[in-house]
Structure 1
């Protein structure tokens, strides 16, 4: 290439990266296959500096604490599982072994869990195990005993987080004088990871309609620290299809021990979705993707609504993961519990940073700040027209696919015809703008690509212009 031309191209690339930083540095798509684990509730995944993800959860027999590890989230699905501790045959820690969480604090491993007595299974309290081994699956564990709180009452779901150099304990407990099953509390950690010190603060009491279906519950707290704020999710209502996630928010600079630092969202932020066949999502934790670029919501739910008998006796809560997205104001958007199978992604425009392909009244368009989020989420699945192609299935309308009709892009229900299959199939190409993006070429109209124009999405012939290339290039988020 002539030196002058090379300089011009270089300047153009630099200009594009400056004008469209989202295109140059977009977060890559995070894709997994759900569920990650069958019959594993209250899941907790911890990413350690040794390169492993550690996974523990409630086993439906309520009699043991299990642990597995893998170098990838998906690898946890098939990783060998080790029993690191079993319930006592009598007395304390003899029943209802619930909601273990694994943390690495000051060079040692800790597992927080709840347990009842063998002779009084509902006398549930919080306990801690400790291990100094590098590999917690093979090392010995020491019982550090019960976490003492201000009241000797039903308590569970201990978790811990640190902010501004201070470590805190969060948990759920039944407080004398308050007619609820459990409320959320916070206290500063003391001299060790199983002791609290100083004042205990009640953060929230379940009082809203969606927090009190079946039972008055606030439990399963978990903290996500992002964008200068603390986002505290918690689970509410009975453990059937009514189970859902609520949210408390505080500034990262505020004192988390002050109840006034926290604001409760008036509606659940994650709930049952019959369209995607996901019921009772809850008791979540947070982890990060393998590349460290995306926050992941880890939670359990069921694939059916109706349960015979006590939901706690139904073993089929499963562990699932999906990406957390963020709104323009920095708050998390959890979307809806996505369908089973491959997790979806968003098509983000190369030349309009932050703008995603979404459907509105089933017409495809390009838009920023999409609400609801699921309108812009698509599963990239094997093409309906056969080998070598991909199709984009709607997340909130399973069985509906992005297709072109008279070169307009729509999201429509698959009708089984050869024409529909062809219209809804694309060849995934390296982006017309180059590496780091993708372009989707029509399977039945070679040389025609998915592109945006005037706010709408079309399938049109590549005219070779820079405008077309930019309009027809996307990143997967």
Structure 2
């Protein structure tokens, strides 16, 4: 019996954005409708490590669609031939410059004074690749970012380097991201500070950074962009060891989101929110509300227009696979392990165990779940337990491996799956193992509800 696997792009809600300079250096004329994220990838045992520039898009800045099947869109060819910590800057003319740490892997002792640089008109192609030397000190140039300093008529490149015995945020000024001025200390709180990220609100400049002595995120502020003018004002924010702060303004409200990337375990993003950045207080965002791209690490997020969103999806495409997040355990995803279907805490290895092609139902209606890394096998129920099994071509297998998607039983914005041949039973987890069971209680409904994403 032949099987056709259909790949479909997820329709992204295009939200009309406000016209605003959300960050220094953002072109002011654009009306934004979504976001682009840049990142590199790692997984717990590094099987998913790729040190090229990856891109994802989002309509709400919370749930992300990886592009190019979560493969890189461009990879460095000089220096270490790898990147970490990419940053996407929209320049004053509306085009983009991409900066990144020149480091492939995790050799933190590498003293690299250079950063990778690309130019792009639309993030669909990348030109002018070069490495730019920022200093001649016996130290690194980590996590470069950039912003427009109108008082100087130049861009500032900020990055982390050891100066005075500990990491500080350094700055070089440039007009073209090719020739740069002499390095100078931009911010030094008196202890190791890395991963500087600038965000402007109501004319006040907020510099978010990682306290590298204890793995917390803090913020400093200044009414100017002058080196040495920033003063720390916030309390610490963290979820375990947290780094790589990013602040993203909602396009539809006054909410701002603070993203942080944990480094133990590998690359789990957490988000906090506030409507008053100046207060320094952030409230955790429910993990049900956001989903990071698979294996993503140390990201950058910038607003984009509807045309740019459409162009990126057209150029690079959405994944041909999905992941399913558990509603009541949103840190867990549906995966197979030893042929048993489970929901396990992200991240895990093999990371491919959580990737599914949601294909037309083998029984002729509904859907079936085909494993990406074992493509001959599908999720099916057997004695009401759900297992990964090879398609034997039988009508019984087809029926057992087919489910009807319905509005989520615990949340209509999510999805539940009713068994094709036992329509009084739904796909659910119990003790973190998947089954098909009748659903009657609130807990049952939560166990049977999933977010289909990436």
What TM-score results when the alignment is normalised by the length of structure 1?
0.47
What TM-score results when the alignment is normalised by the length of structure 2?
0.49
Larger Rg: 1
- Structure of greater relative contact order (alpha carbons < 8 Å, 6+ residues apart): 2
